[in-house]
Chain A
Amino acid sequence: MLERASLVVARGQFVSLVGPSGSGKSSLLRAAIGLQQPLAGTVDPEVAPSDIGILFQDDALLPWRTARDNVALGLTFRNVPRKSALEQADHWLDRVGLAGFEHRYPRHLSGGQRKRVALAQVLALTPKLLLMDEPFASLDAIVRARVVQDVASLVEEQQISALLVTHDLEEAIGLSDRIYLLSQGPRARITHEYAVPLPRPRDPVRARMHPAFAPLYDQLWNDLSEAVGARPTAAAEAAE
């Protein structure tokens, strides 16, 4: 459970929230989009709820709808005419690299492809703020690297502010402009805040080649170990 959190995502910024399991990272995101009420206090995003998109760990596509119908779904909720919604869906599927897969059902797509459909589903609504709750955790290494790269470039191109919850420090550094660290729950709170000194545009997967990467990673690692309150080896397990 998160006791107190005050964090700011500036316009166009990519912010990550890192912390041990049970520190309330997911709850924070869910509160921000109204799926969950904070026990006390308020969430006050300066953007309208309809301008916030969220990517979950599970892709949660409707199994009985094709890829394009899934992507068009949010648009039809906004009373976009069906024909136009489907055209936009095809466009976004193309943008996430799924041209030719429009008529597939989720069951007939791979994990990475489903994640891309979910991304297209959210991007089609042209959000100003994108919340991500460990969206890459379920993917295997190579697929994951590619999806991360595509998310980074699309978010940058669309000038979307992003808030990512993750366990993965490397992912956090590679993608973010700013990183917040949460302490161990219960009564978790934000203990550290870092600016990521890597230049943009950048490739999140190759960020670790940059000389500024290792010192920041090291610092994050030590602070996280301290937050977990155990020796670094045990912390590694807790963080995983």
Chain B
Amino acid sequence: MNPRYAWLRQLIAFGILLLVWEAAGYAGMLNPLFMPSPSAIGSALYELFSDGRIWPHLEATFTAALAGLALGIFIGIVLGVVGALVPLFAELIEPVMTILNAIPRVILAPLFVIWLGIGLASKVALAFILVAVLIFFTVFTGIRQVDRRLVERIVTLGGGRWALVRHVYLPSVTAWILGNMKVAVGFAFTGAVVGEFVAATSGLGYLLSFAQSTYNSALMLALVLLIMVVVLLIFAIAGRLEKYLLRWN
């Protein structure tokens, strides 16, 4: 067993699974209403792209997820930094964040729809709240646990406040955020898709809810597959960025 070829064995196993699945469907052992064959899922996926109607939906989901991600990271960093530096602010914000962290935040989706309508804003808000809480805790606890020895080293070398921020806090925070980047990306897409699922006029989540209401399980599985591919793609990009920025590690 050469570990270098693990991917090949995984691929073969997956291929066999698809073949068995397809054969079982062909032999009438699976009810296509509940469990469509791989070829049916494939053609559903193909149709989505061939008539081009998928693009506006993809765009809607991407816009909501990426806007929520960017906003969530930004606000998360700001709140985390201010919280770590201003004790009074920490006292006020920490319980709020702890509660938000404890609940499954997607339950806020219906509320956001009422507040912000069925347009893009409610999806951005859901993606945002999922990401912001995560990033807040990453930065907040990160800054509090910054390596005291590094701080003392900078101080004894004659560095001031700005030197500490630039050489210790900023790189530390960057490392922690990048370490949580994959989780944040996953959260952002969860927020966007769930938001669309609840109430929307476009987006992958909207298509999912449409497929559900029409009992179209082939379309549903095709969409699940598509979302998986999209998130994996973004993971790969985030991984590259992480590798470059954390090359010292």
What residues make up the interface of A, taking CB atoms closer than 8 Å to B?
A: 33, 35, 50, 53-54, 56, 58, 60-66, 73-74, 77-78, 105-107, 121, 125
Contact = CB atoms under 8 A, between A and B. Distances in A.
A35 B155 contact: yes
Nearest to B157: A74
| Chain B interface main SS type | helix
Nearest to A35: B152
Nearest to B159: A77
26 contacts: A33-B156, A53-B156, A54-B156, A56-B152, A56-B153, A58-B149, A60-B150, A60-B152, A62-B150, A62-B167, A62-B168, A63-B249, A64-B171, A64-B175, A64-B248, A65-B248, A73-B154, A73-B157, A73-B159, A74-B158, A74-B159, A77-B160, A105-B247, A107-B249, A125-B157, A125-B158
Contacts of B155: 35
Nearest to A77: B158
Contacts of A35: 152, 155-156
A50 B158 contact: yes
- Report the contact-size class of chain B (Cβ under 8 Å from the partner): 20 to 34
A125 B248 CA distance: 25
| Chain A interface main SS type | loop
Give me the 10 closest cross-chain CB pairs, A-B, nearest first: A74-B157, A60-B153, A60-B149, A105-B248, A77-B158, A64-B171, A64-B248, A77-B159, A54-B156, A58-B149
A51 to B, nearest CB: 11
Contacts of B152: 35, 56, 60
B167 A78 contact: no
A197 B163 CA distance: 44
Interface of B: 147, 149-150, 152-160, 163, 167-168, 171, 175, 247-249
A73 B147 CA distance: 17
A73 B154 CA distance: 8
Contacts of B149: 56, 58, 60
A154 to B, nearest CB: 18
B249 to A, nearest CB: 7
Q: Which of A33, A61, A63 gathers most chain B CB within 10 Å?
A: A63
Contacts of A65: 167, 248
A121 B171 CA distance: 20
Given A62-B171, A77-B159, 14 more contacts: A35-B152, A50-B158, A56-B153, A58-B149, A61-B153, A63-B248, A63-B249, A64-B171, A66-B248, A73-B154, A77-B160, A105-B248, A125-B157, A125-B158
